[in-house]
Chain A
Amino acid sequence: MPEPTSTRPGPGPSERGGPHGRPRHSRERSREARLAWAFLAPSVLVFAVFLVYPLGRTVYLSMHGNDIIGEPNRFVGLSHFAEMASPAYMQVLVTTLLFTLGVVVPGVVGALAVVLLLEGVIRGQKFFRGAFALPFAFSVASASVVFVVFFSPGNSVLNGVLYRLGLDQVPWLTSQEIALWSVCITTVWMNLGYGVLVLAAGIGSIQREINEAARIDGATGPRLAWNVTVPLLGPQLFFLIVISTINALQSFGQIHILTMGGPVGSTTTLVYSVYQDAFAFGTSDFGRASAQALVLLVVVLVCTAIQFGVIERKVHYS
């Protein structure tokens, strides 16, 4: 997980081996190095077992074909990657992108709106914050099951409400155009709690004096929110954008429970496509799944890098 240390390049530990390290007695140096490795060993081990090895294994698998049990049995080079240059796979990437946008933008804006509006609520503010943060406590599976009841093509609760209001029925999960947005709605609702939690904590840490000073200068309501509060929430907003993007790119449970990637692949994102190849039809195509997982890794890296490159420059750390 990248940490935003780049803006604060404070003095690192002296053992970084920078230009200040004078050549000392070599025996002492090697002793220090051994000691350093001894201290590093536990984390290197954990890192190797849980990060480096799986990554290496994924790279290895991505270049092999499988037998029917899922054991790699033939080298296929980069052909799994070459297969991905197909319109069908581009569709998966586009779906992933749309889904991420459809989750991150409303999710962050929604959480911000909730928190800012609650600023004006004096009585019961804590209660409402708690209420809005509650979705955070739901597991993906149980929240998805609730939304299945809302959207179910068989007997949709939402359509029942629409019917009573005299409105048209919506094919929430059975239309290629709409299903993705239904999954987005579910995900936004699930993520809202976390966003509210993060931003509410941020708003609580804004110094009272700043708000008072702004008020004395005549700033009120929306202007106070937009010109003072939002910029001061910069670090939290940035954190939220990065985290919810990564979360959205890795979403699985709600897609699996609501649509199983359908109708006709219209809600099949990268992660779901990985799942389908590796596990869904009893095919154990771990090679193709691994290749896709690496693509996902690159997508996440690129998105995060862009966010650090573009958005973080505008973040004001007080």
Chain B
Amino acid sequence: MRLSPQGRGIGAAALFMSLGLVLSACGNGDTGGEGDLTAPGPEVLDDLDEAVQVEFWHSMDAANGQVLDQLIDDFNAENEGRIEVTGSFQGEYDDALANHRAAIQQGDTAELIMIFDLGTQFMIDSGQTVPAQSFIDEDGYDTGDIEDALLNYFTVDDELRSFPFNNSTPLMYINRDAFEEAGLDPDDPPSDLASIREAAEELTVTDDDGEIVQYGFGAPLYGWYIEQFMARAAAPYCDGANGRSDRATEVLFDGPEGVELVEWWEAMIEDDLALQIGRNVDDGMAAFTSGRAAMTLESTGALSNYIEASDFEVGAGYFPLIGADDPGGSIIGGASLWINGEGHTDEEVRGSWEFVQYLLTPEAQSTWHAGTGYLAVNTEGYGGPEAVERAEEFPQFELAAEQLAESEVNENTAGCMMGVMSEARAAAEEGWEATLTSDATPEEAMSEAADRVGGTIEEYNASVDE
């Protein structure tokens, strides 16, 4: 780049630059601050001149998005002239959170937003929303029918912070045809690491030249699974009782449970019983549905996709345990709904809450569960006509609800709560992957990854305290 030799040009540039700095410095509105946001009563919606507009940011596209749009339309029809909800797809969970963050900066948040589980601590720390508990207390809303495990997951400091909505747990998927060919019982899939290995020995098929044509097992390196395995082994993922009693300061995935899992995984691949898939979940699906891997791990929400994409019979079992004697239990995945209070009128806040109440009805939940595969947040939803029909079609589908119902509700199954959960998950994946792709031992790789997260947690906590 050739700079103009003229001093004047540089002077002008410097002027503009400093102008930019001044402008950007002015851009910092008041953004943080834990406000005392409380829920308004139903009376604010009396005597409206025109319908209250509620913008709803979500991350549901394709088939799931259509089901959600249907629910929105039904609600709007019921509330004509009173509340009008407009759905707005904001990209994947990560993107939606980034968009929301930008909206906070600009003081222009949507009334209602869907934020994934890992964003929970951030949502609390950014202090923009009205706690869900406040609506429940104001209205005396009965949460008796809402799934306990979900309430548990989104409760922090004894307060429900957001409303569970699109939630799932992972399962183990099996190729029933392959099980039968190998002489295994597809109705009794393996339930812990040792028995998966035994089954994989039977399920791995080589051709005449010794090339493997079917692996017994193959699942993507998805950090969510480590969280699940640890919860099922009754091990906390981070300190401070999973961040529920105190702010977490370190992650514990380098403990004996995490190391045992990664060690097992490495041996499976080295012994040619499992396919190394990498971190992409789509690749996991491709490996399973194409018949390359006979067992895999994936969310319940993927069941209908799996059934559709496979030309063999798909079976499912509970997500496995590390050791056969582990107590079990599942952590929730997925997202919840947050009602923004900062910068919104009482009417808008109340209107959002009315819509959320509608989404939590058994009728809406029956439609939602049957159409998407997500859990019915309101357990009465499983009894709805659509949900019943769905369960008849795919009996495997009831597994997710059963698995969750059998989970003990405690801090381990509540999952770790901290502001840098996304990074922790990515670091766990890296440690896991490093074991499989380099000479690093599981202990080294996992503890190095955990140490790295420690530094990030420290930074986050410092930036929140300020």
Q: Does A pair with B?
A: yes
User: Known: A71-B28, A176-B437, A283-B420. Is A56-B290 also a contact (CB below 8 A)?
Assistant: no
Interface pair B105/A71, CB less than 8 Å apart? yes
The 8 A CB mask of B8-48 against A (1 = contact, 0 = none) is 00001100111111001000100110000000000000000
A151 and chain B: residue at smallest CB distance: B283
The 8 A CB mask of A52-93 against B (1 = contact, 0 = none) is 110111001000011111111110000000000000000000
Interface pair B463/A171, CB less than 8 Å apart? no
User: Known: A67-B466, A73-B463, A282-B422. Is A155-B286 also a contact (CB below 8 A)?
Assistant: yes
- Assess whether B205 is interfacial by the CB under 8 Å rule: no
- In which size bucket is the chain A interface? 35 or more
A residues less than 8 Å from B94 (CB atoms)? 279-282
* Bound-complex Cα distance A283 to B126 (A): 13
Interface pair B466/A73, CB less than 8 Å apart? yes
B residues less than 8 Å from A163 (CB atoms)? 211
* Bound-complex Cα distance A265 to B209 (A): 35
Minimum Cβ distance to chain B for residue A39 (Å):
14
A residues less than 8 Å from B278 (CB atoms)? 153, 173-174, 259, 262-263
A residues less than 8 Å from B18 (CB atoms)? 56
B9 and chain A: residue at smallest CB distance: A44
Interface pair B13/A52, CB less than 8 Å apart? yes
Interface pair B122/A68, CB less than 8 Å apart? yes
A residues less than 8 Å from B119 (CB atoms)? 282
Interface pair A281/B283, CB less than 8 Å apart? no
- Assess whether B351 is interfacial by the CB under 8 Å rule: no
Minimum Cβ distance to chain B for residue A252 (Å):
15
User: Known: A48-B16, A264-B434, A264-B438. Is A68-B419 also a contact (CB below 8 A)?
Assistant: yes
* Bound-complex Cα distance A278 to B419 (A): 15
- Assess whether B433 is interfacial by the CB under 8 Å rule: yes
- Assess whether B345 is interfacial by the CB under 8 Å rule: no
Minimum Cβ distance to chain B for residue A205 (Å):
27
- Assess whether A260 is interfacial by the CB under 8 Å rule: yes
The 8 A CB mask of A130-172 against B (1 = contact, 0 = none) is 0000000000000000000000111100000001001001010
B2 and chain A: residue at smallest CB distance: A2
Partner pick for B105 among A69, A74, A153, A260, CB 8 A cutoff: A69
B residues less than 8 Å from A262 (CB atoms)? 278-279, 430, 433
Interface pair A60/B24, CB less than 8 Å apart? yes
- Assess whether A301 is interfacial by the CB under 8 Å rule: yes
Interface pair A166/B2, CB less than 8 Å apart? no
Partner pick for B437 among A71, A169, A263, CB 8 A cutoff: A263
- Assess whether B426 is interfacial by the CB under 8 Å rule: yes
Interface pair A282/B122, CB less than 8 Å apart? yes
A175 and chain B: residue at smallest CB distance: B437
* Bound-complex Cα distance A297 to B278 (A): 32
- Assess whether A120 is interfacial by the CB under 8 Å rule: no
- Assess whether A17 is interfacial by the CB under 8 Å rule: yes
- A166-194 residues at the B interface, CB under 8 angstroms: 166, 169, 171, 173-176
Interface pair B98/A282, CB less than 8 Å apart? yes
B residues less than 8 Å from A73 (CB atoms)? 463, 466
Interface pair A60/B437, CB less than 8 Å apart? no
Minimum Cβ distance to chain A for residue B222 (Å):
12
- B49-99 residues at the A interface, CB under 8 angstroms: 94, 97-98
Interface pair A155/B12, CB less than 8 Å apart? no
Minimum Cβ distance to chain A for residue B54 (Å):
23
Add 19 more A-B contacts to A153-B275, A171-B276 (CB < 8 A).
A2-B1, A44-B12, A52-B13, A55-B17, A56-B16, A56-B21, A57-B20, A65-B463, A68-B32, A68-B463, A152-B282, A154-B277, A163-B211, A166-B209, A262-B278, A263-B279, A264-B434, A280-B422, A281-B94
| Interface size, chain B (Cβ < 8 Å) | 62
B residues less than 8 Å from A171 (CB atoms)? 276
B285 and chain A: residue at smallest CB distance: A154
- B109-147 residues at the A interface, CB under 8 angstroms: 118-119, 122, 125-126
- Assess whether A100 is interfacial by the CB under 8 Å rule: no
* Bound-complex Cα distance A65 to B465 (A): 13
Minimum Cβ distance to chain A for residue B17 (Å):
4
- Assess whether A292 is interfacial by the CB under 8 Å rule: no
B426 and chain A: residue at smallest CB distance: A281
User: Known: A68-B126, A70-B105, A173-B278. Is A53-B17 also a contact (CB below 8 A)?
Assistant: yes
B residues less than 8 Å from A244 (CB atoms)? none
Partner pick for A281 among B2, B285, B423, CB 8 A cutoff: B423
B residues less than 8 Å from A260 (CB atoms)? 279-280
* Bound-complex Cα distance A171 to B276 (A): 8
A276 and chain B: residue at smallest CB distance: B426
Minimum Cβ distance to chain A for residue B315 (Å):
19
B residues less than 8 Å from A69 (CB atoms)? 31-32, 101, 104-105, 126
Minimum Cβ distance to chain B for residue A115 (Å):
30
- Assess whether B287 is interfacial by the CB under 8 Å rule: yes
* Bound-complex Cα distance A99 to B28 (A): 39
* Bound-complex Cα distance A17 to B5 (A): 11
A16 and chain B: residue at smallest CB distance: B6
Minimum Cβ distance to chain B for residue A60 (Å):
6
Interface pair B466/A74, CB less than 8 Å apart? yes
A residues less than 8 Å from B102 (CB atoms)? 70
Among B126, B279, B420, the most chain A Cβ lie within 10 Å of the Cβ of B279
B residues less than 8 Å from A68 (CB atoms)? 32, 122, 125-126, 419, 460, 463-464
* Bound-complex Cα distance A266 to B285 (A): 24
Among B97, B282, B283, B460, the most chain A Cβ lie within 10 Å of the Cβ of B283
- Assess whether A284 is interfacial by the CB under 8 Å rule: yes
* Bound-complex Cα distance A136 to B373 (A): 41
Q: Can you show 6 pairs from A to B with CB atoms below 8 A apart?
A: A2-B2, A55-B17, A71-B105, A174-B276, A264-B438, A279-B94
- Assess whether B350 is interfacial by the CB under 8 Å rule: no
* Bound-complex Cα distance A101 to B56 (A): 47
